[in-house]
Amino acid sequence: MRNKLCAAALSVLVLSTATHAQEMKGDVAWDILAGLTSEVGPRMAGSEAEARARVWAQTRLTALGFTGVASEPFPIRGYVRGRDEASLTAPMPFRLAVTALGYSETTPDKGIEGDVVYFATLDALKAAPAGSLNGKIAFIDHAMKRSQDGSGYGPYGQVRRAGPSIASTKGAAGVVIRSIGTDSHRNPHTGVTNFPEGVKPIPAGAVSNPDADLIARIAGSGKPMRISLTLTGKTTPNMTSGNVIGDLVGSDPSLPPILVGCHLDSWDLGTGAIDDAAGCAIITAAALKAQEGGKLLRTIRVLWAGSEEIGGFGGKAYADKHTEPHALAMESDFGAAKVWRVNTNFWTSNKVLADRIADSLSPMGIVRGSGPVEGGTDVEPVIEKQKLAVVDLNQDGTHYFDLHHTPDDTLDKVDPAELAQNVEAWSRVLKIVGNEPGVIAP
């Protein structure tokens, strides 16, 4: 940079950190979001930090007036991150921005090194002959693009979920993928991968998109490429995770409750602000806001689930334990951007109720959807088991996969106004379904 600029003396400096913390103090949703990210920090499934988060959650829910607040532990097979390092060693030395994927195999401390075989797509990898990757490191590219409904994550996410195990079956010593994300920052996107029974786990990492661009350019040049990969994390059985639940008891406790879910655990690279402290903030603040005109007829139960990220274990544990009947379930786990669409699985079976929900959201610019409902990982097991009614409040996911599972998932990424819009939309829905005396069913 030009050095003449340096000469200017600095007489007055005004402190202006980019936090909204002060202006938002006293806002329930913001306080939960800021607290989980700034007082607890990252909350990996099964970790000491996730346990601290459960204590924090119980204290906070109790202080907010929830009753029956409980921590419900369950055992998991977790993943404990170690040292994540990767470098190109040919055609030039270059340190890559890498993260291990959850359940990656552990490398030796000095890492592994191998020739790179580049696959432009997962289908290209699938087409590789058996044994053709023996001793090599597979690199899997893909072409995920941003979309409002996040629909690229299902198909392109398969590169992360299934790519490593497919590479293993072809003999690969390790695998590196282009991050499942839509940004162009040197922040890799982590997430879980899976090696099915009978498939040998191999070291599996993701590099940032700019790093993947570089690898693709080198692959395009035809120059031989080698990668050194060090991922010392370990898959670890017998860790303890847990859910936290709390109720706002309705005036008729004999009616089945409304279940609203989020997940308390987060990946460890960032502080889990958009994934999913924001969800816990939204559902909890909305449950309280829905009571502003008086107690609802039905109980609203919040579920802050554990271990969503590495296999949805919290949702399964909840469904197994809570066999008492529920009326309806919802989840917030798609960031903190505005709700733009509402969907239910009872548009036809309970048209009157569904129309009332859609009509209450329409003035906020929220449109009616027609696709299948999604529910969310943490409530899906109980939805399936009990055949529950579901309302989805779809958030704008245009920028979600810029941040998802990266070091960049931090508090500053949340717009307080968008967070508040979520709380408002959720509270409108909860007020309607919470005061519905009749049967609510899909």
Q: Strand 84-90 and strand 226-231: pairing?
A: antiparallel
Residue (39 or 359) nearer to a copy of itself, CB: 39
Residue (280 or 353) nearer to Zn ion, CB: 280
Residue (168 or 208) nearer to Zn ion, CB: 208
β-pair partners for 116: 137
Residue 111, binding choice from a copy of itself, Zn ion, none, Cβ under 5 to 8 Å by partner class: none
Residue 412, binding choice from Zn ion, a copy of itself, none, Cβ under 5 to 8 Å by partner class: a copy of itself
CB of 128 to Zn ion, least distance (A): 29
Residue (359 or 384) nearer to a copy of itself, CB: 384
Q: Please, are residues 405 and 189 in contact by the beta-carbon 8 Å criterion? A: yes
Order the strands of the 389-395 sheet from edge to edge: 67-80, 234-248, 300-305, 258-263, 328-331, 389-395, 339-344, 367-368
Residue (193 or 299) nearer to a copy of itself, CB: 193
Residue 437, binding choice from Zn ion, a copy of itself, none, Cβ under 5 to 8 Å by partner class: none
d(CA 43, CA 36): 9
Residue 161, binding choice from a copy of itself, Zn ion, none, Cβ under 5 to 8 Å by partner class: a copy of itself
Q: Please, are residues 204 and 179 in contact by the beta-carbon 8 Å criterion? A: no
Short-list 204, 135, 201, 141, CA closest to 171: 135
Would you state the structure tokens that stand for residue 192, as one six-digit string?
Answer: 């879980």
Residue 19, binding choice from Zn ion, a copy of itself, none, Cβ under 5 to 8 Å by partner class: a copy of itself
Short-list 192, 190, 168, 435, CA closest to 328: 435
CB of 14 to Zn ion, least distance (A): 26
Short-list 178, 179, 88, CA closest to 139: 178
Q: Which stretch binds Zn ion (CB under 5 A): 58-66, 69-77, 275-283, 341-349?
A: 275-283
409 binds Zn ion (CB under 5 A): no
Q: What is the 3-state secondary structure (H, E, C) of 190-225?
A: CCECCCCCCCCCCCEEEECHHHHHHHHHHHHHCCCC
Q: Which stretch binds Zn ion (CB under 5 A): 97-105, 112-120, 269-277, 290-298?
A: 269-277
Residue (264 or 366) nearer to Zn ion, CB: 264
333 binds Zn ion (CB under 5 A): yes
| Residues at the contact surface with Zn ion, assessed by CB under 5 A | 275-276, 333
